């Protein structure tokens, strides 16, 4: 049985241009879904999966992420003075322990693979999880927990995967499948953002990975791929034959919060899951779905 991943990389150095102008001063990862920023959902998912060390690969203008996971003594004192115990507990629960957190600067946004490679000296030859805050997964069992459980069965490189419409294959890394039992998929190759006519399947990777340390050797070659960027999927593909690669069809609903429509849908879906918001949100959705009733 392979060792369980203890560390997770959060690539948060991107510019967030699809959400301008709000992301001019606010990191995209700090956009709220209901009342928590995207990056907090990712960190909570990692904690629930047993991750012990949290490595954020940041860029310019991302200090709000560091502040979010740090103490705010003025706010804490104010909440205590006003007897806001629930709010104070919520803030305390989200804090990570001293020594659990590291921040690394990605000076240039050269792709996901480059962001992961920037954290190479923190990994020390261990398997490591990678989580994209853009991908929000609503599920009973945290998505990363599902991925780690599957990794403990097969080792190697593993990613969460889902089927997408063929016309959308040029948006994702797509698996070239050799075996599929309906849950775990074995791949003989990966293709980053292929044209629909060239896609070997419609099985797409989303932003949940477990990486074998050999991937960092391939990332160190600094070879560019689709979009002129250093692609993580290209490096993973080059390790096939040395280590196995599998995809896991996870259970849950994935929201692409890197798109405006996906982000808005996530807010609606997560609000409907909340006991304190469900009734009001249903009424709001009904009102706008059928303006004649408003």
Number of helices (H), then strands (E), belonging to the chain: the values are 10, 13
Q: Which residues contact 260 (CB under 8 A, 6 or more apart)?
A: 18, 19
**Tens of pLDDT, residues 170-228:** 988 899 999 999 999 999 988 888 999 999 999 999 999 999 999 999 998 888 887 78
C-alpha pair distances (Å), 291 with each of 26, 283, 286? 33, 12, 8
pLDDT class for 31, splitting at 50, 70, 90?
A: very high
Tokens describing residue 110: 């050269």
CA-nearest of 42, 218, 70, 240 to 137 is 42
pLDDT score of 205: 93
pLDDT score of 53: 96
Tell me the whole-structure pTM to 2 decimals.
Answer: 0.93
Cβ–Cβ under 8 Å, residues 271 and 278: yes
pLDDT score of 138: 97
pLDDT class for 154, splitting at 50, 70, 90?
A: very high
All structural domains of the chain with their residue ranges:
7-256, 259-294
**Tens of pLDDT, residues 50-103:** 999 999 999 888 899 999 998 888 888 898 999 999 988 888 888 888 889 999
7-256 CATH fold = Spore Coat Polysaccharide Biosynthesis Protein SpsA; Chain A (3.90.550)
């Amino acid at each position: 049985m392979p060792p369980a991943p203890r560390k997770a990389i959060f690539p948060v150095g991107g510019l967030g241009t699809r959400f301008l102008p709000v992301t001019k001063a606010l990191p995209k990862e700090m956009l709220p879904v209901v009342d928590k920023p995207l990056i907090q959902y990712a960190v909570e998912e990692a904690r629930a999966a047993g991750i012990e060390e949290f490595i954020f690969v940041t860029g310019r203008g991302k200090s709000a992420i560091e502040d979010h996971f740090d103490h705010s003594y003025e706010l804490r004192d104010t909440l205590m003075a006003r007897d806001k115990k629930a709010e104070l507990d919520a803030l305390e629960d989200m804090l990570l322990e001293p020594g659990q957190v590291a921040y690394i600067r990605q000076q240039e946004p050269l792709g996901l693979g480059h962001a992961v490679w920037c954290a190479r000296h923190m990994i020390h030859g261990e398997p490591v999880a990678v989580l994209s805050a853009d991908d929000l997964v609503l599920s009973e069992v945290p998505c990363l927990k599902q991925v780690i459980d599957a990794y403990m069965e097969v080792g190697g490189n593993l990613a969460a995967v889902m089927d997408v419409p063929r016309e959308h294959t040029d948006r994702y890394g797509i698996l070239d499948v050799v075996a599929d039992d309906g849950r775990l998929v074995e791949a003989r190759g990966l293709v980053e953002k292929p044209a629909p006519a060239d896609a070997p399947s419609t099985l797409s990777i989303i932003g949940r990975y477990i990486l074998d340390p050999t991937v960092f050797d391939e990332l160190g070659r600094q070879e560019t791929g689709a979009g002129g960027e250093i692609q993580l999927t290209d490096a993973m593909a080059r390790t096939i034959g040395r280590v196995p690669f599998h995809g896991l069809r996870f259970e849950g609903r994935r929201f692409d919060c890197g798109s405006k429509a996906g982000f808005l849908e996530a807010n609606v879906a997560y609000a409907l899951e909340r006991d304190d918001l469900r009734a009001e949100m249903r009424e709001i959705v009904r009102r706008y779905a059928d303006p004649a009733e408003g």
